Structure 1
Amino acid sequence: MNLHHKRISAVVLSTAVLMLLCIAVLNAVCPLPKIYKDGPSTVVTSNDGRILRSFGNAKGVHRYQTAVSNVSPFYITALLDYEDRYFYYHPGINIFSLLRAGYQWAINGKIISGGSTITMQVARLIEPHPRTILGKLRQIWRAVQLEWYFSKNEILTMYLNLAPFGGNIEGVEAAARHLFSKPAKSLNKNEAALLVILPQKPSAYRPDRHPTLAKKMRNKVLRRLNARRILSTQETNLLTDEDIFLAQPSGKALAPLLSRLLKHQFPEHHVIQTTVDYDLQLRLANLLSRTAGKLPPKTSAAALVINNKQGNVLAYQGAIDFFDADRFGHVDMVRAIRSPGSTLKPFIYGLGFDQGVIHTESLLSDIPTAFGNYKPQNLNRRFIGAVSASTALKKSLNVPAIQVLNSITPEAFDTRLKEARIHLRHKKSNLSVGLGGTGTSLWELAKMYRSLAATGNVSDLHVIPSSTEQATRPLLSEQSSWMVFSILSSISAPDRIIPSTRRKIAWKTGTSYGYRDFWSIGVSPDYTVAVWVGRPDATPLIGFLGATLAAPIMFDIFDLLPRDTHNLRMPDGVEKTRICWPGGRAFSATAPSLCQTQKYAYTIRGITPPTLQSSGYFVTTDSLPDSLREWQRQQQIVTAHDNAPSKLAIIGIRTGQHYFQDQITSISLSTNQHSQPVKWYVNYAPIHNATFDINKYLGETAVTACIKDTCVTETVYIH
């Protein structure tokens, strides 16, 4: 290399070093501002991408972080062609575009085009400036800095997230969600073209306010793409003929408490897609809103709807109204720990079936009983004596349930729940757990009841889509879960209008001690619906029951669901076995003289355990337990062959029930004494037929049946 060339190389190198030093000094003196200084916002969407709830960033702006790979490829193509065809080739500024813009300004006396590249637009978005020569120079410097520090795809990503789309909407993802209720990846060509032009004049081109102008500008983009041969003439003509179609917003946040929970759980996720069905969630919110007026003051409600097959949450309502402070709408009662009342009883019986302690028609003792220091009572303070396991479960009798729990032991019950990862809150295993002496949530109860339609297996519920197969844990055997489902699905629905879609529903209600929590959980082959009603501050609601407050809501929610597509079949191992009362063993194993009553019971592999004593031990002879026989002798009760006590009782209504005139108009009255003539009275005035006309009464109402000199009265409440 000669001396001349060496001098030229030295000058070039010195110039490059000087430029680098100048850039370094300028960077130190005037560093790039923070790209997303107010942080991103968060949106929670339904399973089809529609917005459930949107959270603004620190400035109240809705911007959902996205990447180039998560945006429609056509949008990217249209954007680069319309805004900056040489984006991947220039160093942040396009000198020819700037010269053209300067010339147009000089000739016309006003700005015709800004000459800005996408990089320069990002520079202006992160640091707004006046539209002056000095402002433009500062913008150029920021563009050079951006190109220095970031790759082209990173800069393009910044534009996708920062571009203004009107109001408090920034970024293509937020625009796509709010305008079209879809992710930016799913934009069609017309939607993409509109979002290309909208940032130029977000207010003037807003399609909801200026649809004609917005369509005109959209078509300008489409025709430019046609001129570049990105779109064919035929396709362009079809697209430009289309009007702009915007999504209709619901006008209110849906699943707001679930959205709040997910935002807290996933702080780094700015678009959180859920398993929630948007339309079902909206219908559920409207249903509870209508129900609010029928509930006592300060009363809230929560509901869950589960798809049994995947365990996906289809609807999640944590409070009756998120914005109702009087009803504590900010408290998520799906997750709140409350007393479950009687809702654990089906699983006590199910474990009893699995352990071979009882079958479905085992004779149990509903009599005053002390289990050590624990003396459970039925809700109505009455006892009916000898009762089958299935009847005791359907009637939700307390003493028989504790009799079974005492036999299988609270420790074994607790262990089984823990192994299935069902979380109860109590210090020590004890019998009171069976009647609600523990704490759990609507979420946990929904997991448990779903197992009745899932061969007795428990798995986690999902609010976020999951592609991995979930681990399952046995709670009950397939046989006992089917037997429990069979019993609970034979319970008549509460007095209400006829459901629009008939389906087989196994359901159970619960009322906590002190009338603080009211539950109803139902399972069909395809769906689980769980409902809680009460006051979040735990003040009591005297005179109500789970059957009167929560069950009607649960059945109304089932009416919102599609028809079930399959049935639960009786599994192998369940046998219908002829058994004898009072001994409880199979007919074939009982002497004819000791078989006072024959019944058919569902058993597991034909196992027919003998009758239980209240103490938990089996009766050693085919006879009534001593304590039950003595109590029935004192009460002068003789157990009839149909397992109904001969003491006069009204069938179908009981003290404490509530009826609503907009749900039911009349009730047919009957007693357990089918062969005897009955005289009927309402509020102690005779009625001339066995029909209770609901519309004629309000408030506390007494219904009385009399046979000869024996009468019985049930007191109900009409609204």
Structure 2
Amino acid sequence: MSRVIGTAKGRSRLKLALAAGLGLLLAVAALDRLLPPDTSRYDDSSRLVVDRHGEALRYLPTSQGIWRLQVDPDAVDPQYLALLLAYEDQRFHRHFGIDPLAIGRAAISNLAAGRIVSGASTITMQVARLLHKPRRGWRGKVEQSLRALQLELRYSKRDILSMYLTLAPFGGNIEGVHMASRIFFGKVPASLSLGEAALLIALPQSPTLRRPIDNPQAALAGRAQVLTRLAEAGMIGSAEAAWAKAEPLPRERQALPFNAPHLASAEARRNAAPPIIRTSLEASLQRKLEQLARQEAGWFPDPATIAILVAEIPSRRILAAVGHHDFAGPQGQVDMTMAIRSPGSTLKPFIYAMAFDAGDIHPDTVIDDRPTRFGTYLPRNFDRQFQGRITMRAALQQSLNVPAVAVLERLGPGQFTAALQTLGVTMALHQPNEPPGLAIALGGVGMTLRDLVGLYTSLADNGQYRPLSASDPAIPAAAMATHMFVRPAAARQVGDILANAPRPMGIQGIANNLADRVAYKTGTSYGFRDAWAIGYTDSHVVGIWVGRPDGTPRPGAYGSNTAAPIMFHTFDIIDGRSSDIAPLPDSEPHDTQAPSPRLPPQALRNFQRNGSVIAEGPRILFPPPQVELALPADGNDRVVLEARGKQPLRWYVDGAPLASRSQGNNAEWLPSGPGFFRISVIDAEGRSSSVRTRLVKGDGR
């Protein structure tokens, strides 16, 4: 009878235990549904932007200014993980968030010592505390334990370990093993020394007290305690522990990588950007070009900003992006690769390309470069001089304004603008509610350096346009339609013209410039506010902008003398720079619609303009503008001046009538001495022309 009763009592106890367990599970399930875990701190990760090879470019803190990067356990030194679990939670992979054996051991140890000498918190319980910051006392411990059970129900052990590696505190605004390793040791946590691993295990136990830079003695003691316990447990040898205890502590915070800060910030701001963002940039090239920009900016006599953008043509991926040469300087956080600025003359190649493609002109079509009025618009060349009869090829190479405006008028500024906007290019019209005007040919529109570089890739790639991208080159870019901006023949004709343009003064002397045939175009906006140089080879496109972000004029700063040298230096630095533009073949494959590269047909020999030609005023032939002349050796010889214009011609020096003997187009001038002089001439109809020159002594002084 007693046996039967015992069996019945045992069954009753078992039922009660099962009911209690089921009740606990139901309670936990109810808690999980009513109060789901708050993982917002874990989700609010720092961002790490890396180059195409995984090299760090820039870290960005969390929204709260914390350095905390999500950590995958596979990205951490296996020895560190093994030592961490051995020290903090030996049964991590076997318990369910709470470790009853650890609780029992801790209770026995604390009772024997008469005080708390050991805790029983598992790594899961620590994660619960880091996520929720429970109340103090026994109620907080209960809440922490329930949250630990909840985490174990919802997440895998790997996920929970990742949370700990991400959230563990290391003092101040440093959280997580990745950022701690970067800031204390200057490296990622994939290859830690034993002493480094032990320090990272010891710090979260008392992050403020044991901060190695502020409290080195406490940090040494904490690390030694970890190493001693691991040696006693047989995880490491005593000799290893002794060596690790002798490792020096970090004395200062290591600087985090800080390259491509503008592009990195833009990539990190993208919706749903992951903690680690891989880009198409080349870190080594980026660093070299940032250094180049700083060096070149130091040569300018006034404060000026340099922006550089480099893209590879086949993939349309950005290799380097310098938004400002001095991120910490005035207006340094403005990304000038994305700022809307006047492009100056850099759109002229696209005007000619569309006209070539339409069959309106040929590179050897002759146009008369003379003063011309287009309605109320009267464009002038940059040097206020006119070249007369000239080919379209030479007009583009010399960046003449009247021919470009005449060709744009033939195309139609509305059609030209629409063609670029169809590609997705931003064109900020000065008066958006009015039709585009002819001033677009000379920079009367707003564009970004990134869009301009993207446009030039189409000329380099047989007229095919695709937008630039900075995304990971290992991941296929989102399907982007390829637009045929112009046909290949027209693109190659423009490329051949630009590749044969004379280089600006001094460029020929740049050392190691292997890209001998760079197709390039410079530009200067109205008032010297923007200086541009954009060039390409068969493999790369380089875009340079020089100016001031606030639009302050820089008189005398042209694209040719400020931006072009930087562009050619950049080609010196780029790998694969010897892949230059191939010469135009003698003949193209037959294409009845595309213009031939050979002599133009009879109908395209001369360009008939629609604008009204204005009678040309006088032109000073000697001295040429902006040159230095040597004074006659004996001081008595006269300088012979020469001009062309409707006679009689009247001459002036610095506004005073010239006392000279005039002979038709020539005049003689007896200078008073060295210095700067403004020489002017007025023709019979009152039209004038002027040049500024400098006279120096024969020894150059």
Do both share a fold (TM > 0.5)?
A: yes
1:399-478 alignment runs, 5 A limit? 399-426=402-429, 427=432, 428-466=435-473, 467-468=475-476, 471-478=481-488
Change in 2 beyond 3 A, CA 1:147/1:317: same
SS in 1 for 2:174: coil
Aligned CA distance change for structure 1 residues 564 and 648 (closer, same or farther; 3 Å): same
Distance (whole Å) between structure 1 residues aligned to residue 615 and residue 308 of structure 2 = 42
Determine which of 191, 201, 208 is the counterpart of 2:203.
201
Residue by residue over 1:363-399, the C-alpha shift from the partner in whole angstroms, topping out at 9 and shown as x without a partner, is 1211011223322111122111111222211111001
Do the aligned residues in 2 keep the contact of 1:510 with 1:545 (CA within 8 Å)? Answer: yes
CA distances 1:503-550 after superposition (whole Å, capped 9, x unpaired): 132221111223322211122333222122223233333333222332
- Alpha-carbon contact 1:193-1:222 (below 8 Å) kept: no
Alpha-carbon distance between aligned partners in 1 of 2:116 and 2:678, rounded to the nearest angstrom: 87
Q: Say if 1:52 and 1:259, in contact at 8 Å, map to a contact too.
A: yes
2:288 is aligned, of 280, 283, 288, to: 283
2:532 pairs with 1:519 = yes
- Aligned-pair identity in percent equals 33
Amino acid at match of 1:531: I
Change beyond 3 A, Cα 1:480–1:172: farther
Deviation at 1:340, TM superposition (A): 1.0
TM-aligned CA deviation for residue 105 of structure 1: 4.8
Which of 166, 169, 175 is the matching residue for 1:170? 175
Matched, 1:539 2:548: no
Tell me which amino acid in the other structure corresponds to 2:511. S
Shift in Å, 1:461? 1.3
The 3 A distance-change label for structure 1 pair 714 and 217 is: farther
Q: Residues 304 and 529 of structure 1 are in contact (CA less than 8 Å); yes or no, is this contact kept in structure 2?
A: yes
Task: Determine helix, strand or coil for the equivalent of 2:91.
Answer: coil
Separation in 1, partners of 2:417, 2:174: 51
Return 432-441 or 10-19, whichever deviates more. Answer: 10-19
Match for residue 319 of structure 1 among 324, 331, 347:
324
Name the residue aligned to 2:93: 88
Say if 1:45 and 1:13 are closer, same or farther in 2 by CA, change over 3 A. Answer: same
* 1:307 counterpart (308, 312, 316): 312
Q: Counterpart of 2:438 in structure 1: which amino acid? A: L
Whether 2:394 is the aligned partner of 1:381: answer no
Matches within 5 A, 1:476-491: 476-491=486-501
Moved more, 399-408 or 241-250: 241-250
Which amino acid is 1:454 matched to?
A: D
- Bigger drift between 237-246 and 381-390 goes to 237-246
What TM-score do you get using the length of structure 1 for normalisation?
0.71
- Give 1:62 deviation, angstroms: 0.9
Report the equivalent of 2:658: none
Counterpart check, 1:16 vs 2:16: no
Quote the Cα distance in structure 2 between the aligned partners of 1:315 and 1:47.
11
Query: Distance in 1 between the 2:550 and 2:456 partners?
Result: 26
Structure 2, unaligned runs of 5 or more: 629-640, 644-653, 655-674, 680-688
**Inter-CA distance 536–224: structure 2 relative to 1 (3 Å threshold):** same
Greater mean alpha carbon deviation, residues 143-152 or residues 529-538? 143-152
SS of the residue corresponding to residue 54 of structure 1 reads: strand
Question: Which amino acid letter does the alignment assign opposite residue 45 of structure 2?
Answer: P
| Partner SS state of residue 311, structure 2 | strand
Q: How far apart, in 2, do the equivalents of 1:329 and 1:276 lie? A: 21
Query: 2:163 is matched by which residue type in structure 1?
Result: M
What's 1:612 paired with? 606
Render the CA deviation track for 1:426-470: whole Å, top value 9, x for unaligned: 342432211112121111001011223322222121222142265
1:112-127 matches, cutoff 5 A: 114-126=119-131
Q: Is the 8 A contact 2:202 2:222 kept in 1?
A: no
Residues 35-57 of structure 1, C-alpha deviations (whole Å, 9 max, x = no match): 61893332333334444333322
Q: Provide the rounded CA distance (Å) in 2 between the counterparts of 1:449 and 1:136.
A: 65
CA contact (8 A) 2:404 2:441 kept: yes
**Cα distance in 2 for residues equivalent to 1:236 and 1:455:** 65
Tell me whether 1:501 sits opposite 2:512 in the alignment. Answer: yes
What displacement does 1:249 show?
A: 5.6
- Give a deviation string over 1:562-605, Cα, whole Å, max 9, x none: 3525344357784599xxxxxxxxxxxxxxxxxxxxxxxx9447
Q: Call closer, same or farther: CA 1:352–1:153 in 2, change over 3 Å.
A: same
Q: In the TM superposition, what are the counterparts of 1:679-698 in structure 2 within 5 Å? A: none
8 Å contact kept, 2:520–2:533 = yes
Structure 1 Cα separation of the partners of residues 534 and 380 of structure 2 = 23
Distance 1:241 1:400, change over 3 A: farther
Q: 1-side partners of 2:481 and 2:642: how far apart?
A: 48
Does residue 530 (structure 1) correspond to residue 524 (structure 2)? The answer is no
Compared CA separation, residues 170 and 335, structure 1 to 2 (3 A): same
Residues 51 and 178, structure 1, Cα contact 8 Å, conserved in 2: no
Shift, 1:162, TM fit: 0.8
Pairwise CA distance, 1:155? 1.9
TM-score normalized with structure 2 length: 0.73
Instruction: Give the Å deviation of 1:223.
Output: 8.6
- The CA RMSD measured in Å over matched residues stands at 5.0
C-alpha spacing 1:6/1:242, structure 2 compared with 1 (3 Å): closer
Separation in structure 2 between the aligned mates of residue 508 and residue 240 of structure 1, nearest angstrom? 63
Aligned: 1:253 with 2:269: no
CA distance in 2, matches of 1:557, 1:456: 24
